[in-house]
Amino acid sequence: MERNYVKTRFSVRQIAMVGMLSAISIFLGLTGLGFIPIPPVRATIMHIPVIIGAIVEGPVVGAAVGLVFGLFSMYQNFTAPGPTSFIFWNPIIALVPRILIGLVAYYVYKLIKTKFKNQSISIAIASICATLINTIGVLGFTYVFYLEKYSAILKIKPETAGAAIATIGATNGIPEAIVSAVISVPVIIAILKTKK
């Protein structure tokens, strides 16, 4: 009887965490607070709740928050379309990389944690890897599915679009990865301390 109670309570906590972190991610997107200007780019932090959920509560919570983040990005691009919104109308591009954020964050953290005694380093590396998988996933799928359409919007030849996509990946992905590590480390450490 006791075991069932603990299992139910754990799942309720997980559901609450998914709801809370998903709400934070959506709030960051709706208010514009999810973008930090780091000239010449605006680094997004909307994926950080996914990383927090994954490391604190496990891969299922991380993947669920990532799914909500992906669905919200689809909703945003359908309701307020821009020149490249068609990319996020594709559920593979909008959802798969966002779900992978949670899975990569959790499993990289678990792997690194056994090798480094410093928890901050483990969280930072997991945050960076999870952020980069999102960037690489979105841009990689864009290259696979929409190379010609994307190059037409950028007004460049399809053969040079690959280099342009890689440049965007580096200029956006690296600052976002650094920012995610800087924010995730203190937040996750504080939450993990309260769980002990």
The residue range of the domain holding 146 is: 12-195
Tokens 């689809």 sit on residue: 74
For residue 2, being part of any structural domain is answered with no
The structural domain count of the chain equals: 1
For residue 1, being part of any structural domain is answered with no
- β-pairing, 41-44 vs 35-38, is antiparallel
Residue 72 sits in a domain of what CATH number?
Answer: 1.10.1760.20
* Tokens encoding 45: 């932090």
- The tens digit of pLDDT for each residue in 179-191 reads 999 999 999 999 9
Beta bridge partners of 36: 43
Beta bridge partners of 57: none
Residue 26's identity, in one-letter code, is I
In this predicted structure, the answer to whether residue 43 has a pLDDT above a threshold of 90 is: no
For residue 68, being part of any structural domain is answered with yes
For residue 7, being part of any structural domain is answered with no
- The tens digit of pLDDT for each residue in 118-134 reads 899 999 999 999 999 99
For residue 71, being part of any structural domain is answered with yes
Cβ 50 vs Cβ 69: under 8 Å = yes
For residue 123, being part of any structural domain is answered with yes
* Tokens encoding 70: 């992906």
Nearest by Cα to 69 from 30, 104, 11: 30
Average pLDDT, the chain: 89
For residue 121, being part of any structural domain is answered with yes
How many C-beta neighbours within 10 Å does residue 118 have? 10
What would the mean pLDDT of 145-174 be, rounded to a whole number? 88
- The tens digit of pLDDT for each residue in 76-109 reads 899 988 888 899 999 999 999 999 999 999 999 9
- 68/16 Cα distance (integer angstroms): 14
For residue 47, being part of any structural domain is answered with yes
* Tokens encoding 115: 């090798």
